């Protein structure tokens, strides 16, 4: 059994694993410091587990036939070396597996992919803005390495960007979209940033301009 540090748990979601009813395991710990983070309580690596992994497995065993899958989210799940073993535990119960990751650990992501059915891959910013957004030098290089490995793996995925126009402008967003297309990305979701609990609205007409600028990528707009 895996020794996964669990920072939180949601017993049912219909939105975090496309087309599936799933539970969400929030993995404790993240090396980045994005100031719009939705789960800042999951950042500290040293925080104790909110729930024992063994207890999560007991719950999941009772939900066989009711749930389709389990999502590993965070925090950053690939921070924990126990992630592939935890995914194997879930697979052995008969569930499909989804992973939410920002791609900061390419080797660990690659090690987890054989256990994964779908990946939600966070793209924070254009490469030259990454260090500012994440608070960590060298972030973009690792993320692009992870993205290339993900695309090459054949595992289903969607790239996702939470956009705050104060962090980078529309022209930079369009440049990012073209970079993703060049990497072979085919699906991308643009998400609204929330600051202090308030959504930061996207400019009017942005969806149409994105579709016109890069028709090679299927774009989904999210609130």
Query: Which pLDDT does position 93 carry in this prediction?
Result: 98
DSSP state string for 172-216 = HHHHHHHHHHHTT--EEEEEEEEETTEEEPPPTTHHHHHHHH-TT
pLDDT in tens, 182-201: 999 999 999 988 877 788 88
Residue 66 scores a pLDDT above 90: yes
Say which CATH number the domain at 21 has: 3.20.20.70
Nearest to 186 by CA among 161, 156, 163, 212: 156
Residue 36 scores a pLDDT above 90: no
The answer to whether position 31 is within a domain reads: yes
For helices 170-182 and 206-213, what crossing angle results, to 10°? 40
Residue 128 scores a pLDDT above 70: yes
The answer to whether position 69 is within a domain reads: yes
Global confidence as pTM: 0.95
Number of domains in the chain: 1
The answer to whether position 86 is within a domain reads: yes
Residue 16 scores a pLDDT above 80: yes
Domain range enclosing 154 = 6-222
The answer to whether position 12 is within a domain reads: yes
Query: Which pLDDT does position 31 carry in this prediction?
Result: 92
Q: Any idea which of 83-92, 124-133, 214-223 has the lowest mean pLDDT?
A: 214-223
The answer to whether position 56 is within a domain reads: yes
Residue 6 scores a pLDDT above 90: yes
Residue 1 scores a pLDDT above 80: no
Provide mean pLDDT across the span 142-156: 98
Nearest to 140 by CA among 130, 149, 148, 150: 130
pLDDT interval class at 135 (50, 70, 90): very high
The answer to whether position 1 is within a domain reads: no
The answer to whether position 145 is within a domain reads: yes
Query: Which pLDDT does position 223 carry in this prediction?
Result: 65
Question: Which residues, listed in sequence order, are joined to residue 221 by a DSSP beta bridge?
Answer: 190
Residue pair 214/177 in contact (Cβ under 8 Å)? The answer is yes
The answer to whether position 24 is within a domain reads: yes
């Amino acid at each position: 059994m895996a020794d996964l540090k669990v920072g939180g748990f949601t017993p049912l979601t219909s939105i975090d694993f496309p087309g599936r009813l799933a539970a969400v395991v929030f993995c404790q710990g993240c090396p980045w410091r994005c100031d719009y983070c939705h789960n800042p309580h999951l950042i500290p690596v040293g925080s104790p587990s909110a729930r024992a992994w063994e207890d999560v497995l007991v719950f999941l065993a009772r939900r066989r036939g009711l749930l389709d899958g389990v999502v590993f989210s965070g925090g950053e799940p690939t921070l924990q070396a126990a992630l592939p073993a935890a995914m194997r535990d879930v697979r052995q119960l008969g569930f499909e597996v989804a992973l939410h990751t920002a791609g900061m650990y390419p080797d660990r992501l690659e090690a987890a992919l054989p256990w994964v059915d779908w990946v939600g891959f966070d793209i924070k910013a254009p490469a030259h803005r990454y260090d500012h957004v994440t608070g960590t030098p060298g972030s973009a290089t690792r993320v692009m390495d992870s993205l290339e490995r993900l695309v090459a793996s054949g595992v289903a995925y969607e790239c996702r960007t939470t956009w705050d126009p104060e962090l980078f402008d529309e022209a930079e967003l369009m440049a990012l979209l073209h970079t993703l297309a060049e990497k072979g990305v085919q699906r991308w979701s643009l998400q609204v940033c929330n600051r202090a609990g308030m959504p930061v609205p996207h400019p009017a007409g942005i969806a149409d301009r994105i579709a016109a600028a890069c028709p090679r990528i299927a774009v989904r707009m999210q609130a």
